[in-house]
Every structure is written in structure tokens, then in C-alpha cells.
Chains A and B, each alone.
Chain A
Amino acid sequence: AQRVTQPEKLLSVFKGAPVELKCNYSYSGSPELFWYVQYSRQRLQLLLRHISRESIKGFTADLNKGETSFHLKKPFAQEEDSAMYYCALSVLMEYGNKLVFGAGTILRVKS
């Protein structure tokens, strides 16, 4: 069965410290993964997708098929990074595809 696991409900770091938000997935097919960010009381926004191999707002994520992981990293956290982060897996269905979301991790960056 397809599943996305984000083991930490809350991650609290100091400004300037490195950040790693963990995401592990379970999927029998070829994985397509995304990170979404939700700032306080706002919509979910796409942060990055593994296919693009890009860095957005200083964040990167590398797909590791051996470890079935897609951890989100940033070398130096900023206060404006405080938000809820969701990892999501695109699952192929008979008609179209849907996203399976993890439970989310709240990132709190302290000054």
C-alpha cells in the first residue's frame, strides 16, 4: 500500500541552524514526490518536486530510492521558514493520479 511517513510532528531549531525534515515513503511503483508548505492559516503551496531537482527558498530534497526517503533540507534556517511542511507522493490510479500526503511536520525557527 502507498504511504508517506513524516515521523516528527514538530521540529524546533534556532535561526541559522541546519534543518532536515524527514519523509519516508512506501510505493510499489516509480515514486514522484513533492514537498508542500503551509504558512499560518494560508493555503498549501508547492515548495518543490523531486523531478525538478531545484532549490526553492534555500530548500533542497533528494530522492533516495534505496532508503525510500525524500528528506527536505536547508543549511541555515530563517524565522520566515516557520510553517507546516507536508511531503506528498503521487500515486497512479486507474483514471488519473492522486497525492498521498504525510501527516505534516511543523517547523518552528526560534530567534
Chain B
Amino acid sequence: DAGVIQSPRHEVTEMGQEVTLRCKPISGHNSLFWYRQTMMRGLELLIYFNNNVPIDDSGMPEDRFSAKMPNASFSTLKIQPSEPRDSAVYFCASSRQGARNQPQHFGDGTRLSIL
């Protein structure tokens, strides 16, 4: 398996622009997680989906952030409008639900820079 695939790997854009991050989970995994990693705040869970349904979005910082999972093999995280403080590395992870000892598998991340 190719693992969790994220795109783009790097994104540099000007503030105010819309940013869309993409994730393809591992085939057969039915849970998907979006995280944000910064030096100041470490690793933060933004939102997670179970069977394509958003379960907990309490970590989404503001209404400017939205996430969708239209099918089992694709998810997006959108920021509109983007701000410099959104600059971070965004990770997607997937896991097979059913037992709590199932680990999450992470993608390579998207390094986002908002100028």
C-alpha cells in the first residue's frame, strides 16, 4: 500500500487566498484525521471522520476552516480566507476503527506558508 497520500507537499500563497489540502487515506481504513503542527502549539487534532461522517470538529480553529469527506478515499481541508497565522504543517492520518489498539498512519504532510 502507498500509505496515506497528501497533496500538495508544499503550498505558498498570499493571505486572503483560498487554500485546499487533499488527502487519500489507506484503502480499507474507515477513520480519517486532520492535524495541524506548529512549533508553538505542537500537534493539534482539527477534525476527524468515521465512515465519511465528521465526528468531532471541536479542534477546527475558526469558521474559515472547513473539511469534507465525500467518499471513503478522499478528504479535503479548506481554509478561506487564509491568514499568515495559518502557516503550519498539516497532517492527515487514517486508521481502521474497531479496536482501540489500531494505530493511526500519517501522511507526509503539507507545509503551508501564508505570506
Contacts and interface: CB of A to CB of B under 8 A. Distances in A.
Interface residues of A, number: 24
B108 to A, nearest CB: 5
The residue among B45, B106, B107 with the most chain A CB atoms within 10 A of its own CB is B106
A103 interface: yes
Interface string B28-62: 00010100000000110100101001011000000
Contacts of B103: 34, 46, 49
Interface string A87-103: 00010111111111101
A84 to B, nearest CB: 9
B43 A104 contact: yes
Contact of B43 (A49, A93, A98, A101): A101
Contacts of A103: 42
A51 B43 contact: no
Interface in A56-111: 86, 90, 92-101, 103-104
B97 interface: yes
A96 to B, nearest CB: 4
B56 A97 contact: no
B106 A97 contact: no
What DSSP secondary structure best describes chain A's contact surface? Answer: strand
Interface in B69-115: 91, 93, 97, 100-101, 103-109
A43 B100 contact: no
Contact of A98 (B42, B45, B106): B45
A46 B100 CA distance: 14
Of B56, B101, B103, B105, the most chain A CB neighbours within 10 A belong to B103
Given A42-B108, A103-B42, A97 B91 contact: no
B101 A49 contact: yes
A46 B3 CA distance: 13
B101 A51 contact: yes
A95 B43 contact: no
Interface of A: 32, 34, 36, 42-46, 49, 51, 86, 90, 92-101, 103-104
